[in-house]
Amino acid sequence: MFRFHSFRTRLTVFFVGLLLAVQGAAFVIVDLANSHYARQQINAELEVDARVFGRLLAGRTAEMIQAARLLSGDFGFKTAYASGDQGTLLSALQNHRSRIKADTMVLLSLDEEVTASTLERRAEAAPMDFSAILEAADDSDEGEAALVMMLDGRPYLMVLVPLLAPLPVAWIGIGFVLDEQFVSSLKELTLAHVSLLRRVDKAWRIEASTLREPDTLAAALARVTRPRQSFVLEMAGQDNVTLMQPVAADGVLQAVLQRPLAAALAPYQRLRLALLLLTAVAFVASLFGASAIARSVNRPVQQLVAATRRVQKGDYGGAVAVDRVDEIGELATAFNHMTQGLAERDQVRDLLGKVVDPAVAEELLSKDLKLGGEEREVSVLFADIRGFTALSERQHPSDLLDLLNRYLSCMTEVIEGEGGVIDKYIGDAIMALFGAPLAHGDDAQRAVRAALAMGHELVRLNRELTAQGLPAIATGIGINTGLVVAGNMGSTHRLNYSVIGDGVNLASRIEGLTRFYGVPLIISESAAAAAPEFIYRELDRVRVKGKLEPVRIFEPLEAGILGDGELESYHEALAHYRAREWRQADDILAGLAAAAPASPLYALYRQRIANFLITPPADDWDATVVHSEK
């Protein structure tokens, strides 16, 4: 499947793209160089054409001046001029024009009046203006002049020499028209297109041209005018290198020399075609070559990807078989070693997770193993089987172990379901932590929920045990929330993650009080304050063994466990009890005991009141009960 994000595709695209970029750049550079060279070549040829044009005009000028000089020294012409006969002068001019193959001849008086002219003109035509050429002749040392000028709307190359007798008595002018024949002869010499254009009211007018459609030149030049500087001019979809050469001194008449750029580039077309063919062959070769290289790399990489996905799913069994000695082979070997190490690590993790809680195992594996700990607020839960010694005496050890494992498995599942961590199993007892090594922010609530759920799970388990003829199990659970030190304890060679502190001892002592008060679950005042959403029945104010400060203990209750008003009545009786109002307290407790005769708590307080009625407590009595036993 062709996917751009795959390594094979990207490698192929990179190499093929690099080749195309290099070949394309080379093609463009060669093409630009060829175009530049062709342009330079045409420019040079146009410069030569311009010089040929200039020399042609100069040669024609020299011929006409020489012919005019001969006529000026001709005795017969002087005699005809002296006769003053207009017909004789015109005949002499016609004869000489034919002999020198000029287009026109004219005789001017010293007053700049036309005495005779071979140019046939319409009667309404404007007078011919020879002032510019006469001024040039006056300024020259020889009294001669040559000038391109317009006569009857056509460009002429005119020369002017004086008629000497022996002093100047008139001017002899010879003209050569710059027409289609002239530009055609120039094209035969230069092989370039030649056009003569005249500026008329900011537009160009074609006077003569070798182009098939000269009007296109005038339209194109209306946008560009660069005398004496070559430029590319597009005409009828074809680029022409163009050079403009002024013909008249005033710049009104311009000669335009042009050579097509395509003709100069024709010799390079074969080179361009060869480059294109070479690029196409290189493209196909690089495409197949890059694809083959990419495939040789992609195939083992895909094997590594598939193996990585198997490892991601926990399957470390399949080694990658890559028979290569390059870097990919080294990668495959390193990958195989890595999967072997991961398999060994998971075996250790699995074994460690069975010996200790998975959260503790993760804590041990994620940090440096060293002795020490940190102070944290943790809810510690102790759960113990009541009467386990007597139960042990009645059961075979293997049966007892099976029974104990069933019980511990059920309770562990409940504790871990609430995010608790089994710190350790102490025979038939369970020590669980809520808040270490992972804190959730509501660890006290989780501990109380876990304890209540353990009671429900124990009921379910006892039904199964009774149905199987096995003895039922009774437990006591104690919870305390407080500051403890959590961390790795033991020796430098053998560590155990656990918690220590007064808060742990208090949780253990509270669990032991469940037998005394006849309830399955007791929590400390700090645990009750940290989990206020539950219903509690305050049991007593006690001082346990190892503690100097008294603590209040509570029993978490589920809704519907006590009768209507029973909890309020009990707390009222407890308030009378602590205020030494024995009769009021006993009356309430008597009613509660009558309604719930199975509750030992009410009988316990009635017995205390009976004793206090006989032997009242000391004046500093604060209702604290001291428990010296564990």
Domain boundaries, the chain: 34-119+128-278, 314-355, 371-529
If one compares 447 and 358, the residue with the highest pLDDT of the two is: 447
Token pair, residue 42, equals: 């045409």
Token pair, residue 220, equals: 């194109």
If one compares 65 and 10, the residue with the highest pLDDT of the two is: 65
Token pair, residue 595, equals: 């309604």
Nearest Cα neighbor of 476 from 505, 512, 447 is: 512
CA distance 24 to 18: 10
CA distance 628 to 158: 147
* pLDDT > 50? residue 351: no
Range of lowest pLDDT (345-359, 370-384, 608-622): 345-359
Q: What percent of the chain has pLDDT over 90?
A: 33
Distances (CA, A) of 171 to 45, 116, 156: 39, 11, 17
Phi, psi torsion values for 158, nearest 5 degrees: -110, 140
Percentages helix, strand, coil for the chain (3-state, rounded to 5) are: 50, 25, 25
Domain 34-119+128-278 has CATH 3.30.450.20: yes
At 262 the pLDDT is 79
Q: Please, are residues 212 and 238 in contact by the beta-carbon 8 Å criterion?
A: no
At 352 the pLDDT is 45
* pLDDT > 60? residue 367: no
At 309 the pLDDT is 75
* Mean pLDDT, range 548-564, rounded to an integer: 90
* pLDDT > 70? residue 225: no
Token pair, residue 88, equals: 């004789």
At 130 the pLDDT is 86
| Confidence band, pLDDT 50/70/90 cuts, at residue 227 | low
First vs last C-alpha separation in the chain: 73
CA distance 315 to 339: 9
If one compares 425 and 213, the residue with the highest pLDDT of the two is: 425
At 251 the pLDDT is 67
| Confidence band, pLDDT 50/70/90 cuts, at residue 582 | very high
* pLDDT > 50? residue 328: yes
* pLDDT > 90? residue 630: no
pLDDT tens sequence across 435-481 = 988 899 999 999 999 999 999 999 999 999 999 999 999 999 999 99
Which helix (H) or strand (E) segment holds residue 43: the answer is helix 7-72
Which helix (H) or strand (E) segment holds residue 438: the answer is none
Q: Please, are residues 147 and 47 in contact by the beta-carbon 8 Å criterion?
A: no
- For 493, which DSSP code? S
Q: What is the CA radius of gyration of the chain?
A: 62
Token pair, residue 624, equals: 């604290």
| Confidence band, pLDDT 50/70/90 cuts, at residue 516 | very high
Phi, psi torsion values for 442, nearest 5 degrees: -130, 40
Helix residue spans in 313-372 (DSSP H): 327-355, 358-366
| Confidence band, pLDDT 50/70/90 cuts, at residue 484 | very high
Domain 371-529 has CATH 3.30.70.1230: yes
Most confident of 45-59, 289-303, 343-357: 45-59
Q: Please, are residues 485 and 378 in contact by the beta-carbon 8 Å criterion?
A: no
* Mean pLDDT, range 97-116, rounded to an integer: 87
Q: How many CA atoms lie within 13 A of 113 on its CB side?
A: 4
At 370 the pLDDT is 46
* pLDDT > 90? residue 507: yes
If one compares 319 and 423, the residue with the highest pLDDT of the two is: 423
Token pair, residue 20, equals: 């195309």
Pairing of strands 495-500, 429-434: unpaired
* Mean pLDDT, range 277-300, rounded to an integer: 73
> 539 has which bridge partners?
none
Q: At what angle do helices 7-72 and 261-312 cross, to 10 degrees?
A: 170
At 244 the pLDDT is 83
> 373 has which bridge partners?
487
Equal fold, 34-119+128-278 vs 371-529: no
pLDDT tens sequence across 247-286 = 876 667 888 888 888 777 777 667 777 777 877 887 787 7
If one compares 333 and 425, the residue with the highest pLDDT of the two is: 425
Q: Classify each residue of 454-482 as buried b or exposed e, where b means 16 or more C-beta atoms within 10 Å of its C-beta.
A: beebbeebbeebeeeebeebbbbbbbbbb
At 217 the pLDDT is 80
* pLDDT > 70? residue 366: no
Query: In this structure, which amino acid lies at residue 504?
Result: V
Q: Please, are residues 570 and 489 in contact by the beta-carbon 8 Å criterion?
A: no
* Mean pLDDT, range 157-169, rounded to an integer: 87
Q: Please, are residues 510 and 553 in contact by the beta-carbon 8 Å criterion?
A: yes
Measured at the alpha carbon of residue 500, what is the angle toward residues 496 and 503, in degrees to the nearest 5? 150
Distances (CA, A) of 368 to 243, 352, 465, 489: 87, 16, 44, 13
Which helix (H) or strand (E) segment holds residue 613: the answer is helix 600-614
pLDDT tens sequence across 132-162 = 888 888 888 888 988 888 888 888 899 999 9
Largest Cα separation within the chain, whole Å, is 187
At 344 the pLDDT is 61
At 318 the pLDDT is 65
At 518 the pLDDT is 92
Q: Please, are residues 383 and 462 in contact by the beta-carbon 8 Å criterion?
A: no
SS (H, E, C) 251-282: CCEEEEEEEEHHHHHHHHHHHHHHHHHHHHHH
Q: Please, are residues 249 and 147 in contact by the beta-carbon 8 Å criterion?
A: yes
Listed in sequence order, the residues at least 6 apart from 164 whose beta carbon sits closer than 8 Å to its beta carbon are: 72, 73
At 567 the pLDDT is 93
At 593 the pLDDT is 92
At 190 the pLDDT is 83
CA distance 543 to 524: 12
Query: In this structure, which amino acid lies at residue 466?
Result: T
Average pLDDT of the chain is 83
* Mean pLDDT, range 394-405, rounded to an integer: 89
Q: Please, are residues 53 and 190 in contact by the beta-carbon 8 Å criterion?
A: yes
Distances (CA, A) of 99 to 169, 181, 528: 23, 19, 140
Q: What percent of the chain has pLDDT over 70?
A: 84
* pLDDT > 70? residue 204: yes
* pLDDT > 60? residue 1: no
CA distance 140 to 163: 15
Whether the CA torsion 559, 563, 564, 568 is positive or negative: it is negative
At 601 the pLDDT is 94
Phi, psi torsion values for 434, nearest 5 degrees: -125, 105
Q: Is 153 left (phi over 0), alpha (psi -120 to 50) or beta?
A: left
Nearest Cα neighbor of 42 from 225, 214, 190, 220 is: 190
* pLDDT > 60? residue 357: no
* pLDDT > 80? residue 170: yes
If one compares 597 and 326, the residue with the highest pLDDT of the two is: 597
Q: Which residue has the tokens 């020299």?
A: 62
